[in-house]
Each structure stands twice: as structure tokens, then as C-alpha cells.
Structure 1
Amino acid sequence: MLEYDILIREYEVEDYDRVRDMITNGLREAEARIVKAQVINKADVWAILLGLVAVVRFIFSIDLMILAAVSFLTVFIYYVSGLLYMNFYRLPMELEDINLGCPIHRYEKFWVAEVGSPAKREVVGSVALRRADDSNEYKLELKRMSVDKKYRRRGTASLLLRKALDYSLEKDAKEVVLTSSSAQMPAIRLYSKFGFKIRRIFTEKVMFGMIHVTLVEMSHTK
């Protein structure tokens, strides 16, 4: 049951700043979880590295400060690459186009969720559909699903997703596909609840191979 009045409507030019900030913040949250998990999972690598440092120092009597600096250089590079990745690499730069109007050429439909009184409403979620590029058939790709952190687990995402699926049914789309990061498990569970099936799981290497991102490709058919 919703705890607030919510309205799903099409995106308008005035929504641009709010929508882009909301989606960007959501992506950064997910990527921060990816980087944190990978640093923790590499604890065994750091242990081996420090063990090698101890052996090298014992054999060659190299200054301890130099060895320490060299040893932790890899850790520093890893953290810096993660920081760059979260802030620059995967931000939705195509959203720069949404100030041209709605629907824009990249999307067939773009909706937002807003809450509040008629006099003062706030955008708290978004979802979009665009034609899938990999098929001559009429297939749609779910994009830009995002909900403000304060309004999660209250039904907002479900309403947005239902709006998108209802549209695809109305237009007789053969399939709706999406790709989500494995760090976004609540979203993946929601998609599964609405009938999406996992089609493929694959890994991308970014930031010169320093960061590994596991992506889940899902599909919804009538």
C-alpha cells in the first residue's frame, strides 16, 4: 500500500535537472557497492602481496619504506580507478538530450513519478522505453529505471514498471529487454516478480581492466 499520493506522467522539459541528478546518484550508489565488494574480495591478493614484500625485504634488505610504498601503490591505483569509474565512466550522458523535449529521439516513451500536493510536487522516479537496436522486430528496451532513495520500497518502482509493461502490451511489442548491474539486486528481484527472465549474465572490464562489472540481461515476453 502506498504511503503517499503518486502520479505517473510523461517527462517534461522542466524535469531535466531533477531526473538527471536522480539517475546519476542511483548509478553511483550501485557502482560504489561494486568497487567496495571487489576491494574486499581481493583481500587474499593483498595478503600474498605483503607476504612477497616480506620475503623480498629479507633477501635483499631493501628499505622498508620503499617496499611499503611500492606494495600499496596497486591498492591506491585500484581505489583511484574506482573513483573515476563511479564519477565519470558510466553516467547516463545521453540524458543531455532530454532537454530537447519529450519524447526524445533516443526514447519511445519517458515517464516520471512525482509525489506531493497539487501545488507542490516532486519527481521521485523515472523509467523509459526505447526500440531495441538488435532486432528488426518490434522489441523495446527498458531504460533509466530509477527511484529516489527516500521513496524506495514504497511501491514507486512497481508503478513505473507496470506503466512501461502496459505500454509495451498496448503497442504489441514482442519483447521487453533490459540490462542491470548485479549490484542492483533489489531491482533484479522486482523485474523477476513482474515476469522478466534472466537471459544472459556477462562481465565487462572497465577502467583499464581494474574494475569488473557483472551485468544481467533479462527479457519479458507476452
Structure 2
Amino acid sequence: MSEYEVLIREFEVEDYNRVRDMITSGLREAVALIVKTQVINKAGVWISLHSQAILLGFVAVVGLISSIDLMSLAAVSFLTLFIYYVSGLLYMNFYCLPMELEDINSGCPIDRYEKFWVAEVGSPARREIIGSVALRMAGDSNEYKLELKRMSVDKKYRRDGTASLLLRKALDYSLEKGAKEVVLASSSAQMPAIHLYSKFGFKIRRIFTEKVMYGMIHYTIVEMSHTN
């Protein structure tokens, strides 16, 4: 647990900018990891599939290599991977991130949720928001189910128990209100979060792959549920 007191309170409209920045930062970390992994995997597959062609063509280009600046040749060789990496980041940052955040992108984002909490630390005169979590109605089921959303903790305050406090707050609320189930979806890039959910009794119910950029980038989505 943390060495400082963490206060969990309900979200207020004035918290919006700080919460949005924190959530965006966390999502970008996951996105960067996904794209980086994809680049490494793509490079490995490319080298494996074309290694023979590369070896066969090596002799033919020896003369060309000797007449070209090696730094320029290296830059051209990695240009494709560079474009892939940058385009992936641009796509995820300017398309996927706004889509992920559109449910808090309003003047009063709390209206879109049943409950929205933030975690704070600091003195009464100056407190800092370091985490958030929210619940909203899940799907069109006749049963009362809730979906866990906007779980995020500032990078400087992770692994100190703040995420556990936020998750416990959400689960206690769901139990108090009689929700039959709490569901969530997380990227496989967020393994620490998935491990935390498992510790609190969430079970994996489905794993599937999403593809973007015409199949160039794919990432694994893990859907989990907690039955009260």
C-alpha cells in the first residue's frame, strides 16, 4: 500500500482536464507498446520470409553497396519500418484515442456514467488527482449490469495500492446497488491491470483480436467479468 493517504471521491466537472490528460497518457503508453511490438514482429516475419531472397540478392548488390554511402543505405533500409511505426502512432493517437475518450469529452462527463470517482493525494490546500475509475450501464440486458471504464493511475503512483482502492470502490458500489455483474475490456498490453482484475475475482470470458490500418496493426482484447 502507499505511504501517503489516498482520498477516493466523486468526480467533479473541474477535474475534467486533469483526468483526461491522465487517461490519455495511460492509453498512449499502451498504444506505443502495441505498435512497438508490432514493428518488432513485422520485422522478424519479414526477415524470416525473405532471408533467402536477401542472401541470393546480396551478391548482386555488393557493387551497389560499395558505391553508396552506408548511412544512406541504412536509412533507406529502415524507412518502411519507420513509416509503419509513425503511421501506427498517428492512427492510434488521432483516431483511436479520441474514440476511446469521447465518453468523457463533454462539459459534464459525469452525466455519461452512473458513477465516476477520482483518487487524490496531497494536503487539503493542494491536492493532486492520481487516478480514476468509472461505472456505466452495460449493454441492453434486462439484468442490471455495470461496465468498468476509465480505470487509470498516474505513472508516478502505480504499484502503491491506488488502483486496488479504486477497483474496490467500484465493486463495493456495484454490490451495494445489486448489480448482477461487472464487465470490462482491456488490451493485452495492459497485463498489470489484467492481473489486478484477476486478483479481485474477474474471470476472462472472451479473447479476440482487433485489426486496424487495413490489418497492419492488430491487438488483443481481453473481456472479463465479475459476478456479485
Find out whether 1:93 has 2:94 as its counterpart. no
Query: Residue 121 of structure 1 aligns to which amino acid in structure 2?
Result: R
- Which whole-Å deviations, capped at 9, do the CAs of 1:104-163 have from their partners, x for residues lacking one? 1x2111100010001100000000000011422210000000000000011100000000
> Where in structure 2 are the equivalents of 1:61-210 lying within 5 Å?
72=78, 74-91=80-97, 92-94=100-102, 95-97=104-106, 99-100=107-108, 103-104=110-111, 106-210=112-216
Query: Residue 35 of structure 1 aligns to which amino acid in structure 2?
Result: V
Q: How many residues align?
A: 219
Q: Structure 1 pair 137/63, CA: closer, same or farther in 2 (3 Å)?
A: farther
Find out whether 1:23 has 2:23 as its counterpart. yes
Q: C-alpha distance in 1, partners of 2:133/2:125?
A: 24
Q: Percent identity?
A: 75
Q: C-alpha distance in 2, partners of 1:4/1:164?
A: 21
Q: C-alpha distance in 2, partners of 1:39/1:51?
A: 21
Q: Structure 1 pair 69/149, CA: closer, same or farther in 2 (3 Å)?
A: closer
Query: Residue 52 of structure 1 aligns to which amino acid in structure 2?
Result: A
Instruction: Confirm or deny: 8 A CA contact 1:53 1:71 kept in the other structure.
Output: no
Query: Residue 12 of structure 2 aligns to which amino acid in structure 1?
Result: E
TM-score, normalised via structure 1 length: 0.88
The offset of 1:70, in angstroms, is 7.9
Instruction: Confirm or deny: 8 A CA contact 2:148 2:184 kept in the other structure.
Output: yes
Partner SS for 1:114: strand
Runs of 5+ consecutive residues of structure 1 not aligned to the other structure = none
Instruction: Confirm or deny: 8 A CA contact 2:31 2:89 kept in the other structure.
Output: no
Partner SS for 1:150: helix
Query: Residue 220 of structure 2 aligns to which amino acid in structure 1?
Result: T
Runs of 5+ consecutive residues of structure 2 not aligned to the other structure = none
Q: C-alpha distance in 1, partners of 2:95/2:36?
A: 17
Query: Residue 96 of structure 1 aligns to which amino acid in structure 2?
Result: N
RMSD: 2.4
- Which whole-Å deviations, capped at 9, do the CAs of 1:37-63 have from their partners, x for residues lacking one? 222223332313364355457679996
TM-score, normalised via structure 2 length: 0.86
Q: Structure 1 pair 77/51, CA: closer, same or farther in 2 (3 Å)?
A: farther
